[in-house]
Amino acid sequence: MKIKCGFEWHVQLDTGKLFCRCEPSIHDDTGFREIVRTLKPSFGESGKVDVSAAFEGDRYRRITYRFFEDTDCLVDIDEEPPHDVDSDALRTAVYVSSALGSRIPENLIFMRKTIVDGSNPTGFQRTAVVGLGGSFLSGGRKIPISSISLEEDSARKVSESASETVYNLDRLGIPLVEIATDVLETDEREAKEIALEFGRFTRLFPVRRGIGTIRQDVNLSVEGGSRVELKGFQNIREMDKAIANEAARQNSLIAIQKEKSYLTDNLAGLEAKNINEVFSGYEGSKLIKNALSANKTISAAKLEGFASVLGAYVCENKRFGGEISDYLKVKTGYGIIHSDELPAYGIDQDRKDAISKKLGCGDKDAFFFSIHDAGKEDSIMTAVSERIKNLLNGVPSEVRLVQDDNTTRFLRPVGGEHRMYVETDLPILKLDEKTISSAKGYSGLTVDSVKKKYGMTDEFLDKLISVNRLQEAIRAHEKLGLGFNTIVGVMVEDYRYTKRKFGFGVPDSDVEFLLEGVAKNRIAKDAPRFIMELMALGKARTAADAVEKYGLKKMGRKELESAVRKLVKAAKITRPDTVITNLRDRLGHSFDAGEAYEILSKVLKNG
């Protein structure tokens, strides 16, 4: 399906926090303290309030922040100005810009981007452009880069309700490099390939590992549609499905606009009617029974001429009525149930007919109802009317969240130029000559150039990238002189084996110890996996402890040759596999099988 799209990649850097010196690590949900805030929208540099900020401000929710002693400080809770920019993060952002052929400005000016969803206690995100223009190759196609920015990551959302949102502040302030492309004409298949290829490129730099450390947004539109920003791709390998669904949704809304836009004339002043009595004594629906027990109000309204419209599918697993309900949940905290999906939720045909009769619906009409707290019916009617009008006018320009089923749901309107204003707590930064000079060494850096430089195969590169270990592998290669077959064997294969079998992730320091031991002939090449197993089973605290406790220091060649000769002579064993098995039973993992085979061949040949 032909689409127009632009990418925004947000990549967490493996450095300190951007504006303070706290530990950049993620916590579990224990050992925190809390503060409570409410946020209001502010004017941008243009003197106007941005539409997305105004939308969030209208919701006026309580924001609870959980903060931790080691990862958060007064900077994070906006009680102290930002400290100096982390130098490692700044350098990495400049290196990325240089690799992509971007024009790097001499002076970096931090701006404030208004954010009123609560994800930053300041109400804004600090961001600075570090590169303009440039490109990278994907499948032989040059993908033009629009801009590269250095910015702070937001807080992690823990929970959300109609009246309160809870965030953890541990992620706040971790440095991000944001890379935005120009608009491309493409399809869902190529879009996924571009995203995967760019993910490989980012691993050439010191970036963080784990879920959520690289987040990819897609700005997408179809012919006749509007720009829609898709966020939250959980599985990049299914990006094409989410893009195809969104394109189908936009095309469906365009078709509905052509056929049904006249229905907006029937939305003037939706009249809410209380239908609690319709369900009085009704036991068939747990949803309704619980609502009445909690003294909730059930408000319904007629939608004249909307029969079959609310139930129409705009894409796979998404109805027109679902588009309304998603918006209403974000705007007010409540959803809707509509007539096109009934009977459902334990609500039978008799109850549906009773609601229709109470509202005065004809054959061509539909209705919806919402379960809510008392006094909220006017805001619900206003929001429903507002959303239907937007949908019947075409494709609303908005930010949408990708769901597990590869559909999307409404998050907020797309922000505009009114979001930005100048940061007053940070000075203009002039890049030093050392940073500019060292950045030149990254010019033209690509996945292919790395493979060529280090003689690395596609297989090894992909394995290292898949676990985000490329930087560590290159350092081990340069420092220890090990081949990548050995490095990948320990760093990827042995690590994965232990993780999958025992659920134990070997610490980086122990992986480094094992590689150094192999490089310096202190540990046999076959020993790291066995040592990792001992650690996973709790039989050794560290790799060094396992080597010492279980006698795993590598045997000298003469000692191994003596052991082979004695075994062959005593047991008259000549089959290589049997010899190695017997040696392993006697000597454990203190020798290399490859070296033993070599010695055995020599013994059998020369006697």
Taking only the tens place, the pLDDT of each residue in 317-351 is: 999 999 999 999 999 999 999 999 999 999 999 99
Q: Is the pLDDT of residue 607 over 80?
A: no
Query: Which single residue is written with the structure tokens 């690799």?
Result: 99
Q: Is the pLDDT of residue 606 over 80?
A: no
Which residues is 400 bridged to in the sheet?
230, 410
Mean pLDDT of the chain: 92
Question: Please, which pLDDT band fits residue 585 given cuts at 50, 70 and 90?
Answer: confident
Q: Into how many domains does the chain fold?
A: 4
Query: Which single residue is written with the structure tokens 């990006």?
Result: 239
Q: Write the pLDDT tens digit of every residue in 280-328.
A: 999 999 999 999 999 999 999 999 999 999 999 999 999 999 999 999 9
Q: List strand residue ranges (DSSP E) for 240-335, in order.
A: 273-274, 297-303, 313-315, 318-319
Question: Please, which pLDDT band fits residue 583 given cuts at 50, 70 and 90?
Answer: confident
Same domain as 284, residue 182: no
Asked whether the beta carbons of 356 and 367 are under 8 A apart, the reply is yes
Q: Which amino acid is at 215?
A: R
Same domain as 180, residue 49: yes
Does residue 255 lie in a domain region?
no
Q: Is the pLDDT of residue 576 over 90?
A: no
Of 265, 259, 235, the C-alpha closest to 320 is 259
pLDDT of residue 269: 75
Q: Considering the entire predicted model, what is its pTM?
A: 0.84
pLDDT of residue 244: 96
**φ, ψ of residue 253 in degrees (nearest 5):** -65, -35
Share of the chain above pLDDT 90, in %: 77
Same domain as 487, residue 359: no
pLDDT of residue 264: 94
d(CA 191, CA 3): 9
Of 42, 62, 61, the C-alpha closest to 52 is 42
d(CA 137, CA 134): 11
Same domain as 564, residue 545: no
Average pLDDT over residues 562-581: 78
CATH number, domain with residue 357? 3.30.1360.30
Does residue 254 lie in a domain region?
no
Of 124, 126, 143, 121, the C-alpha closest to 134 is 143
Whether the ω angle into residue 121 lies within 30 degrees of 0, i.e. cis, is no
Asked whether the beta carbons of 538 and 573 are under 8 A apart, the reply is no
Does residue 64 lie in a domain region?
yes
Average pLDDT over residues 374-383: 95
Q: Is the pLDDT of residue 274 over 80?
A: yes
Same domain as 281, residue 148: no
d(CA 142, CA 88): 29
Q: Which amino acid is at 485?
A: N
Same domain as 568, residue 524: no
Same domain as 132, residue 45: yes
Same domain as 571, residue 543: no
Q: Write the pLDDT tens digit of every residue in 155-185.
A: 999 998 878 899 999 999 999 999 999 999 9
pLDDT of residue 600: 86
Average pLDDT over residues 480-498: 96
pLDDT of residue 571: 66
DSSP state of 553: B
Same domain as 223, residue 185: yes
Does residue 412 lie in a domain region?
no
Does residue 81 lie in a domain region?
yes
Distances from the Cα of 148 to the Cα of 96, 101, 432, 527, angstroms: 8, 11, 19, 44
**Cβ neighbours for 346, distance < 8 A, ≥ 6 positions apart:** 284, 285, 286, 287, 288
Q: Which amino acid is at 462?
A: D
Domain range for 349 is 261-393
DSSP H/E element including 220: strand 214-221
Q: Write the pLDDT tens digit of every residue in 225-246.
A: 999 999 988 788 899 999 999 9
pLDDT of residue 572: 66
Question: Please, which pLDDT band fits residue 521 given cuts at 50, 70 and 90?
Answer: very high
Does residue 238 lie in a domain region?
no
Same domain as 155, residue 7: yes
Q: Write the pLDDT tens digit of every residue in 418-461.
A: 778 889 999 999 999 999 999 999 999 999 999 999 999 999 99
Does residue 247 lie in a domain region?
no
Same domain as 379, residue 289: yes
pLDDT of residue 169: 96
In angstroms, how far is CA 431 from the centroid of its own chain? 30
Does residue 411 lie in a domain region?
no
Of 531, 517, 521, 532, the C-alpha closest to 555 is 521
Of 294, 279, 403, the C-alpha closest to 345 is 279
Same domain as 587, residue 541: no
Q: Write the pLDDT tens digit of every residue in 44-91.
A: 667 777 777 677 666 667 899 999 989 999 999 999 999 999 999 999
pLDDT of residue 163: 81
Q: Is the pLDDT of residue 602 over 70?
A: yes
Q: Is the pLDDT of residue 276 over 70?
A: yes
Q: Write the pLDDT tens digit of every residue in 534-551.
A: 999 999 999 999 999 999
